[in-house]
Structure formats: C-alpha cells, structure tokens
Amino acid sequence: MIPVQGYAGQTVAILGFGRSGRATAVALQAGGAQAVVWDDSAATRDAAEADGYDLRDLTKAGAFEGVASLIVSPGIPHLYPAPHPVIAAAWAVGVPVDNDIGLFFQSFATADWDSFDTMPRVIAVTGSNGKSTTAALIHHILVENGRPAQLAGNIGRGVLDIEPAHDGEVVVLELSSYQTDLARALTPDIAVWTNLSPDHLDRHAGLGGYFAAKRRLFAEGGPERAIIGVDENEGRYLANQMAQGQGDDRIIQVSSGQKLTGPGWHVFARKGFLSEYRKDRQIGSIDLRAVPGLPGAHNHQNACAAYAACRTLGLGPRGIEAAMRSYPGLPHRSQIVATRGDVTFVNDSKATNVDSAAKALQAFPKIRWICGGLQKEGGLDGLLPHLGHVVKAYVIGREADQFARQLVGAEAEVCTTMDMAVAKATAEAQAGEVVLLAPAAASFDQYDNFEKRGEDFIRCVGS
C-alpha cells in the first residue's frame, strides 16, 4: 500500500466506493488523513458503513465544509456528458478534485529513496487498444530478466494498493482515458502511447476530447522517454509535439506495418519481424512469428512498444526476445482457449470496439467470427474492409438483427446467444479455421462486463 502524502490531519472525501475507492480510503488513512466516503449505491454505502468507514452525504448543502480534496473513482463522469452533481458541488466551493492516479504520483517517492542505489521508475501505458497487453508484456519481460517490478492501474492491482518501491524497482501502470483525464499529477519516467481509435466518445464529448485526455500523460508529465505509436495521425502529431528535433532519441516511434526511417530511434514490425533502428542503423531484430502469445499485427505493435520500453531501461534485445517467447498472453485478448481437429478457438472478448475487432480479424486467415453486443457510436463501417478473412459471422446480442444487417459482404447468421453461436460455428468449422470471439461491441446487453462474456465463450467451447 502507498500511504498518501500531503493530507495528514485533513479530511478528504471519496466519491465512489468500489475497488479504487476502498484502496484510496486505506491509503489516505495510512498517510494520516481522515477519509469520508459516499457512493450513489445504497448497498455500497451500507457495506462501507458496516466496515467502519465514515459516511458523509456529499449531495447535501455544506457537505464540503472542512474538506481538503474530493477523490473521484474513474467510472464517474466529471465533465461529459455532464458532471456528477457532487463534483459540480465541489467546484462551486473551490474544493480540488483528483483521483487515485494523481494521489499515486504525488505520494510514490519517499525519503527512503535517498538510500537507494537505483531510483525506482514508473512506466505508464495508455492508448485505445493493446495497453493491457503492452503493460503486462513489459512487466513479464522485466520479471523474466530479473528486474523487480509491479503491475497496476487499469490492470491488476489499484495504484495505491501496490507495495512501496524497492531499490531499482519498476512500476508498470496501465492507464485509461478516465484515469489520465482527471489526475492532477502525472509524472511517469517513461510514457507509452499504443494507438488511438474512437471509443468512450460520450465520456469525452468526441474524439478530440478523448485524444486530449490521453495526451495529458505526455503533455502534463514531461516523461524522460516517450514511446509513441505512429500508425495514426494523432500519434504522429504527438511524437512531433514531444520531439525537439529529428534526432531527439527521447522519443521512440513504433509502428506495425511500416518501416520507420530517419535519424531518431525507431522500433517497428513488418511481416512478423520486429526491428530496432537508431540513427538509421539496425541494432536489433526479433522474429515475432515464433511468439505464440502475441499473434497478429496488432500484437506485434504491442510487442514493439514493450520492447522499446524495456530497451530504455537497459535490457538487451536477446533477453527481451527470450522473455517474449514465454509470454502467455492475457485472458480475453487473443487468448487461445482450445484446439480441436485443427480448429482453433480464440477468445478476444476485449475487442469491444470496431478498431480492436478489425485488428483481430486481420490476425487469422480463415475465421468463423462470433460478434455483436451493445453497439458503440460510429457504426460498423470501419469493419467492412476487413471482412475478407471471415468465412461466416455468428451474431449475438439483443440487437443481433441490426448488427448483422451492417456486415455487408459477409455471410451472417443471427444466433442471439453465445451457446447457439459457438454450437453453430463449431459444427460448421473446417480444418485450419479459427472460431474467433471478437465482438466489436460492449457486453452490457447480456453480460456484466467483457470478462463475463469471454468466460461464457470458454464455457461454451468446453461443453
């Protein structure tokens, strides 16, 4: 646990008492602050009170009297589509609003570090797709190479729930736009940008707001190294904004699909091979086709970003390659769950938007595609150029009919339920084909979250 610094003897309010809210309360109290909590759910409030936490109804007039700061859980809107009433009330009386990420960066460094031989480091990973895989892969490579490391943030443990840093330790954080948008302190040593595609547009009032939320990790914190995917204009813009000139090797540009040239530092993957170039000279290469936990071009981009992050920490190419080969992959992200009669079953339930699903469709040559769910803004037009590998689509979800009609050029069958979709796809699959769950939609019409959807797919495959 990271005791929060700067609030000893003060009262701090917490809005939202889920995983991050509870960890924040413990960390605040460990730092000498008094935490008062509120949640919109009566059941959650009752549970908090039963556990001994001090409830305060932050919706009432005068609730912020004597409060030094309001800490907000990431799922609560603070600006768009409208600020939560409690947040608006804090603004009105001048109480600073922050989140657990801001508290972490404010509190991570301590006086104990003066005795360390090697200062701890923080690597923060953001982007639309691949940030979980990239963060987990960086952590795996570090551990396999004997470097002490912790993984936290939007994956694994909450940021305030990790252990205080040891000498030379690296903390790897996955950060969502919800987390970077509000944090008052963002000071990673190394910041990683995977890519950008439309997502969470209602929460950020459009793509520009979404980009701005993620860009804060770089613009506000001024990382020593910035690793930036440049396969979209937003990444190219960000890399240009961060660099002081053509040869600025504080910026490492990464790509999947294009060769990067020039006097700077580049890591890219083409046709399954990762290459590292510095000053237009190749100094490292890895055959990613032999890495089972990282299938497809989208995972090769993740590999490039993770490779670059580890190189900035002084790891050698061969040590990184060996660790990549043992990387098992993450659940619900290009996860191979079974192979039967030369038919492979892949769970990519995390492909909740069009861009991530399109990348999954490019990873395999012949696909029986299970898709559908709660469709996001923008429609499915972005998928249409990538349906060439789809032998047939099996559409689930409450809006399966409408979803299927948009898959112009692909054979699609409305199945509605996961059980029916898996049964149909399994019965019709031929040798060499892949039964792929990559929904291109949210799960909330049928499941609590994408993990539950992926678990249901695994259950159906195994039954």
Residue 230 near residue 127 (C-beta atoms within 8 A): no
Return d(Cα 447, Cα 57) in angstroms, integer. Answer: 31
Q: How far is CA 59 from the centre of its chain?
A: 32
Residue 163 near residue 1 (C-beta atoms within 8 A): yes
Return d(Cα 101, Cα 68) in angstroms, integer. Answer: 17
Closest CA to 322 of 349, 290, 353, 300: 290
Residues with Cβ within 8 Å of 325's Cβ and at least 6 positions away in sequence, in order, are 290, 291
119: amino acid identity, one letter: M
132 in a labelled binding site: yes
127 in a labelled binding site: yes
312 in a labelled binding site: no
339 in a labelled binding site: no
Closest CA to 183 of 89, 107, 94: 107
Give ∠ CA 291-296-299 in degrees, rounded to 5: 75
Query: Given CA atoms 454, 455, 458, 463 in this order, what sign does their dihedral have?
Result: negative
Residues with Cβ within 8 Å of 405's Cβ and at least 6 positions away in sequence, in order, are none
Q: How far is CA 132 from the centre of its chain?
A: 4
233 in a labelled binding site: no
128 in a labelled binding site: yes
Residues with Cβ within 8 Å of 301's Cβ and at least 6 positions away in sequence, in order, are 130, 194, 195, 229, 231, 254, 255, 256, 269
Residue 154 near residue 179 (C-beta atoms within 8 A): yes
What SS3 state is found at 133?
Answer: helix
145 in a labelled binding site: no
Residues with Cβ within 8 Å of 77's Cβ and at least 6 positions away in sequence, in order, are 83, 84, 203
Q: Which residues are annotated as a binding site for ATP?
A: 127-133
Binding residues: 127-133
